[in-house]
Structure 1
Amino acid sequence: MRKILLVCSAGMSTSLLVTKMREAAREKGIEVGIDALPVAEASTAVDNVDIVLMGPQVRFQKATVEKLVKGRIPIEVMDMRLYGTMNGKAILEDALQKMN
């Protein structure tokens, strides 16, 4: 099973997005684990995921997260428009494509 980690400033703004992404995965019949954490707690999970998606509001911390994953997995900043509209389907599809 593929695993996706969403990170933002407090972990709360991505909760709704996680729900929408899980719904999109269910509709597509895809088994994927999706969780959200604040950037400050990302180090506890990066070793167990296949991609890290960062909220646009924390893009300035991308270098910090890159140091945590040491090039092992992709780290992407989510599209601001898709994030703002909570388009879980599009963000999921983008993440799946970048993991392949």
Structure 2
Amino acid sequence: MAEKTIMLACNAGMSTSLLVTKMQKAAEADGQDVTIFAAASNDINNQLEQQHPDVLMLGPQVRYMAADLKKKLDIPVDVINMQDYGLMNGEKVLKAALKLIDEKEA
């Protein structure tokens, strides 16, 4: 099992699936042991129970969910930077997610 698990969520899980691929390539190039997966916004609770991620990153189109999720979850929740999301910058999103995990563990 991977050392860290990152969950991405957007409306349908489609656009974040492409970002997951780019993040995985960046993680491999950096020697990071991570599991990254995408989920649709209506499946967040189910995926949280099944996968137990260390961080939840939301696509900008579902940023409205962030406040409620932050209140109810004991893992870091953040909205993916809109520019990084639009450019599908897997390396930057990966670094942001890992930084949130490290800050929680510190």
TM-score (structure 2 length as normaliser) = 0.87
Hey, what's the Cα distance between the residues in 1 that align with 2:72 and 2:40? Answer: 14
Match of 1:45 among 44, 47, 50: 47
Q: Confirm or deny that 1:55 pairs with 2:59.
A: yes
Query: Equivalents in 2 of 1:73, 1:56: separation in Å?
Result: 19
Gaps of 5+ in 1: none
- For 1:90, the equivalent position in structure 2 comes to 92
> Are 1:9 and 1:39, in contact at CA under 8 Å, matched by a contact in 2?
yes
Cα deviation 1:1-26 (Å, max 9, x = unaligned): 10000000000011110000000000
Q: Shift of residue 94 of structure 1?
A: 1.0
Task: Give the superposed CA RMSD.
Answer: 1.2
- The structure in which a higher percent of residues are helix is 2
Q: Which residue of 1 aligns with 2:18?
A: 16
| 1:35-83 deviations in Å (ceiling 9; x for gaps) | 00011101012240000000000001223433552xx100000000000
Superposed structure 1 runs of 4+ greater than 3 Å apart: none
CA distance in 2, matches of 1:65, 1:40: 13
For the Cα contact (< 8 Å) 1:8–1:54, is it kept in 2? yes
Percent identity over paired residues: 42
Contact 1:46 1:68 (8 Å CA) reproduced: no
Q: Counterparts of 1:5 and 1:65 in 2: how far apart (Å)? A: 13
Name the residue aligned to 1:31: 33
Unaligned runs of 5+ in 2: none
